[in-house]
A and B are shown apart, each in its own frame.
Chain A
Amino acid sequence: MTALLAVEDLSLGFATEAGFASVLDRVSLSIERGQVLGLVGESGCGKTTLARAILGVLPRETARITGGRVHFRGTDLLTADPASVNQTIRGRAITFVPQDPFTSFNPVFTVGDQIMEILKWKSPRAGELPGRRWLPAVVARYPAERRQADVEAVLELLDAVQLPRPEQMLRKYPHELSGGQRQRLMIAMALLPGPDLVIADEPTTALDVTIQAQILGLIRRLATERNVAVLLTTHDLGAAYEICDAVNVMYAGQDVESAPVDRFFAAPAHPYTTKLLASLPDASGTASGIPGEVPGLITPPGGCRFHPRCERADGPCREVRPPVDQLGAGHWVRCYHPHRDAP
């Protein structure tokens, strides 16, 4: 079975005043249909940049892709014609759930207007739009019969994300809704175009723990029911444990380990992963942090970028980035000295 999305050796960076910051360094990952993949890492590790690179929404002036491929259903999104990617993939086959439901809505339009605006262009019932339009987009036609079908689809989906009284909900302004309700709407909006892949960028960070449990459950259920793949970026290992099928760990722009969820938590192999798991607070109060700081990305450490904070590091770690080491089915690590038989 070929993967729905395969990122291969993607490297990219940003031009900054201080120099070129290498934010992703030969990162690979793959997702299959219906799979929930967790992309875990601390702030600044490049997980959001990777998500945006897949979606193709990196800032055009500063971001520079220096190598690698992003294969989605067989096409390389980086080299494909941007107009056709925009028509058929971005916002249709791949959609996005943003981190902050508070700033992602336009405060001066009702949520119904904003949802219908998406569907005018990205509805699965809309045919191919003409590539070149003479009239501005705002006066484009929205056929009444399609609008009617879209409204019905919206109401059905709002019901599926457990929002009470969907018709009234559509007439509300964003400030009238709570954070949890807005995030449910965001999930509904991401699912409306009938995507194959949803990229959820820290969807529960801004929410309370009881709401987080509800939203995570919702994402898992909808992904399974609709056979949609979800790329969930998160810094919360607990959230990853809850709903992911597999977990990828990133550190300072490099992918360090990938494993099916049970193996990931039972037998972590990379020293960074084990330390990250040991940092979680527990009842005994013995959680230990990781000494040192995440390195700057303008002049990152050579080889494995974790080596300055790793007690297992030796000569080769500083020189050459470790190759992929297969430890078992779906479990690989990029480390010269992995924990081979961790508990």
Chain B
Amino acid sequence: MTQAILSLGDLQVHFAVRGPFNRRIGSIKAVDGVSFDLMPGEVFGLVGESGCGKSTLGKAIMGIHKPTAGEIRFEGQRIDALAPSARRAVRRSLQYAYQDPGASLDPRWKIGASLHEPLVIHTDLDQAAREKRIRSILEAVGLPDTHLDLYPHEISGGQQRRVGLARILTLHPKVVILDEPTSGLDVSVQATVLSLFRGLRETFDLTYVLISHDLAVIRTMCSRVAVMYLGRIVESGPTEAIFDRPRHPYTRSLVAAIPKIGGVRVTRDFWLQGEPPDPGNLPSGCRFRTRCPKAADLCAREEPALSPLAPGSVACHFPD
């Protein structure tokens, strides 16, 4: 069996809520006990509604947020408590594509300068070698050379996304975390960007963690999916199994909520009521029980653990 390229063990990221005099008056459990193994070459989807902790999880893997507890291993090596200098070497092969590529490019730098920057930081290449490398990457993401002399505001959102991706790929990473890679794009652009992701994965031998709230995107891209709700994975498994036979009531409602053109209209009888509770004040037991049609006494008393249920795993006392 191949070794996992990235593995998370019971990862927790809590943020303190502070009151007067900086006194700690509570905490928000953004990520609360998440474990998974990422195999080389796979596309792993993390899906959930806003505020469920999926971006926090991605950022914790990158070391942007410090985990409260738990461990992160990259190619077998612990990376959650590395010294900053050792961290830099890891960061080269583990890259993060931000949600808003427009905001992550410096508006006063030309695209060319933004593309040089990661190579200046992480490699010893000279100017000519860097130029050669970025031109080849630019071609791979489908942008003309002339874009090197443009400023970010002169190109469209889809092109900015391509530049953001080119910037990451210049370092030849192994794992790329894509945080909402299609939010804010129109469907026609989204389709081309997604096929670009697929092509680049082949060319550069990448492993993706794809974070998205858009189930349609997750479904077309991923081989394995984990569904998060309020900081926990409630269900995970192969994509087809999750979409065709969701076991957790929350997954079931998510899948049911996607409009299906030509199918039954979900708005006629959508059964999930209410909204997620305040993450600073979670309900006892199962976090979903306040909205769950199956909730019983047991759900209020005991939090269900993520337990295997072929072909995936589910955290529910009464799975379907």
The judgment on whether A and B are partners is yes
Chain A interfacial positions (CB closer than 8 Å to B): 42-43, 162, 178-181, 208-214, 216-217, 220, 235-239, 241-243, 265-266, 275-285, 287-291, 293
Tell me the complex Cα distance, A43–B158, Å.
12
Q: CB within 8 A of A281: which of B49, B217, B267?
A: B217
Residues of B within 8 A of A181 (CB): 275
Assuming A43-B186, A213-B272, A282-B220, what are 17 further A-B pairs, CB within 8 angstroms?
A42-B187, A208-B50, A209-B215, A212-B257, A214-B270, A214-B272, A216-B267, A217-B268, A265-B262, A279-B187, A281-B194, A281-B217, A283-B240, A284-B220, A287-B191, A287-B195, A290-B192
Residues of B within 8 A of A275 (CB): 188
| A42-B188, A288-B191 given; A241·B259 CB < 8 A | yes
Q: Tell me if B189 counts as interface (CB < 8 A to partner A).
A: yes
Residues of B within 8 A of A265 (CB): 261-262
B267 touches A242 (CB 8 A): yes
Residues of A within 8 A of B287 (CB): none
A-contact bits for B23-67, CB 8 A (1 contact / 0 none): 000000000000000000000000001100000000000000000
Residues of A within 8 A of B190 (CB): 279, 281, 289
B267 touches A289 (CB 8 A): no
Tell me the complex Cα distance, A239–B266, Å.
10
Tell me the complex Cα distance, A210–B258, Å.
8
Which residues 237-271 of B sit at the A interface, judged by CB distance below 8 A? 240, 243, 253-254, 256-262, 265-268, 270
Chain B interfacial positions (CB closer than 8 Å to A): 49-50, 156, 158, 186-195, 198, 213-217, 219-221, 240, 243, 253-254, 256-262, 265-268, 270, 272-273, 275
A180 touches B275 (CB 8 A): yes
Q: Please, could you name 11 A-B residue pairs with CB atoms under 8 Å apart, sorted by A?
A: A42-B186, A42-B189, A210-B257, A211-B49, A213-B266, A213-B267, A214-B270, A216-B267, A220-B267, A281-B216, A289-B190
A235 touches B267 (CB 8 A): no
Tell me the complex Cα distance, A83–B298, Å.
63
Tell me the complex Cα distance, A209–B215, Å.
9
Tell me the smallest distance from the CB of A305 to a CB of chain B, in Å: 15
Tell me the smallest distance from the CB of A223 to a CB of chain B, in Å: 12
**For the complex, would chain A's binding face be called helix, strand, loop or mixed by DSSP majority?**
helix
A290 touches B216 (CB 8 A): no
Q: CB within 8 A of B191: which of A212, A236, A237, A279?
A: A279
B155 to A, closest residue via Cβ = A293
A289 touches B275 (CB 8 A): no
A209 touches B257 (CB 8 A): yes
Q: CB within 8 A of B259: which of A210, A220, A238, A266?
A: A238
Tell me the smallest distance from the CB of B210 to a CB of chain A, in Å: 12
A237 touches B187 (CB 8 A): yes
B216 touches A280 (CB 8 A): yes
Tell me the smallest distance from the CB of B72 to a CB of chain A, in Å: 27
Residues of B within 8 A of A208 (CB): 49-50, 213
Residues of B within 8 A of A211 (CB): 49, 275
Tell me the complex Cα distance, A209–B216, Å.
11
A285 touches B220 (CB 8 A): yes
Tell me the complex Cα distance, A286–B205, Å.
21
A180 to B, closest residue via Cβ = B275
Tell me the complex Cα distance, A213–B272, Å.
9
Residues of B within 8 A of A280 (CB): 187, 191, 216, 261
A209 touches B156 (CB 8 A): no
A209 touches B49 (CB 8 A): yes
Tell me the smallest distance from the CB of B317 to a CB of chain A, in Å: 21
B261 touches A238 (CB 8 A): yes
Residues of A within 8 A of B186 (CB): 42-43, 235
Tell me the complex Cα distance, A242–B240, Å.
24
Q: Tell which of B49, B156, B188 has the most Cβ of chain A within 10 Å.
A: B188
Tell me the complex Cα distance, A271–B186, Å.
17
Tell me the smallest distance from the CB of A182 to a CB of chain B, in Å: 11
B259 touches A217 (CB 8 A): no
Tell me the complex Cα distance, A43–B266, Å.
26
Residues of A within 8 A of B195 (CB): 287-289
B188 touches A279 (CB 8 A): yes
Tell me the smallest distance from the CB of A323 to a CB of chain B, in Å: 26
B216 touches A217 (CB 8 A): no
Tell me the complex Cα distance, A275–B254, Å.
27
Tell me the smallest distance from the CB of A252 to a CB of chain B, in Å: 12
| A213-B266, A213-B267, A242-B259 given; A235·B49 CB < 8 A | no
Residues of A within 8 A of B256 (CB): 213
Residues of A within 8 A of B192 (CB): 289-291
Q: Tell which of B158, B192, B221 has the most Cβ of chain A within 10 Å.
A: B192
A282 to B, closest residue via Cβ = B220
B213 to A, closest residue via Cβ = A208
Tell me the complex Cα distance, A245–B152, Å.
40
Q: Rank and list the top 8 A-B pairs by shortest CB-CB distance, nearest first.
A: A238-B259, A289-B192, A217-B267, A289-B191, A290-B188, A42-B186, A208-B49, A279-B191
Residues of A within 8 A of B194 (CB): 281, 287
Tell me the complex Cα distance, A190–B243, Å.
36
| A208-B50, A210-B272 given; A289·B259 CB < 8 A | no
Residues of A within 8 A of B268 (CB): 217
Tell me the complex Cα distance, A236–B257, Å.
14
Tell me the complex Cα distance, A234–B188, Å.
14
Tell me the smallest distance from the CB of B308 to a CB of chain A, in Å: 25
B258 to A, closest residue via Cβ = A209
B196 to A, closest residue via Cβ = A289
Tell me the smallest distance from the CB of B160 to a CB of chain A, in Å: 13
Tell me the complex Cα distance, A293–B192, Å.
11
Tell me the complex Cα distance, A208–B180, Å.
13
Residues of B within 8 A of A209 (CB): 49, 213-215, 254, 257-258
Tell me the smallest distance from the CB of B157 to a CB of chain A, in Å: 8
B158 to A, closest residue via Cβ = A293
Residues of A within 8 A of B275 (CB): 178, 180-181, 211
Tell me the smallest distance from the CB of A220 to a CB of chain B, in Å: 6
A264 to B, closest residue via Cβ = B261
Residues of B within 8 A of A282 (CB): 216, 219-220
